[in-house]
Amino acid sequence: MNGALGVVVRLFEGAVTKRARNAGYEDFGWQRNYYERIIRSQAELNATRAYIIQNPERWQEDENHPLRLRQE
């Protein structure tokens, strides 16, 4: 099972990329890299959930946002 999560993520990203590009989003792409994290407490779980919920609100400010990269 070594690397199983990486295989699942790679297959998922490939399928989503193909569907997005077929739908007309030719510039669709994923941010590079991800990391695995073991959540060991309820507090860590709550913080992770808050990060996931709030992340889209901060996307326009992200230095890797595709529209921001085109403007530079």
Structural domain contains residue 13: yes
Structural domain contains residue 20: yes
Assign 69 a pLDDT band (cuts: 50, 70, 90): low
**The predicted structure's pLDDT at residue 3:** 79
Structure tokens at 72: 């530079």
Give the structural domain span for 50. 4-27+38-71
pLDDT tens string 5-41: 889 988 999 999 999 999 999 989 887 776 778 999 9
Tally of domains in the chain? 1
Structural domain contains residue 47: yes
Position 1 pLDDT exceeds 70? no
Eight-state DSSP code of residue 24: T
Structural domain contains residue 33: no
Distance CA 9, CA 57 (A): 24
Q: For residue 62, what are the contacts with CB-CB under 8 A and spacing of at least 6?
A: 68
Structural domain contains residue 8: yes
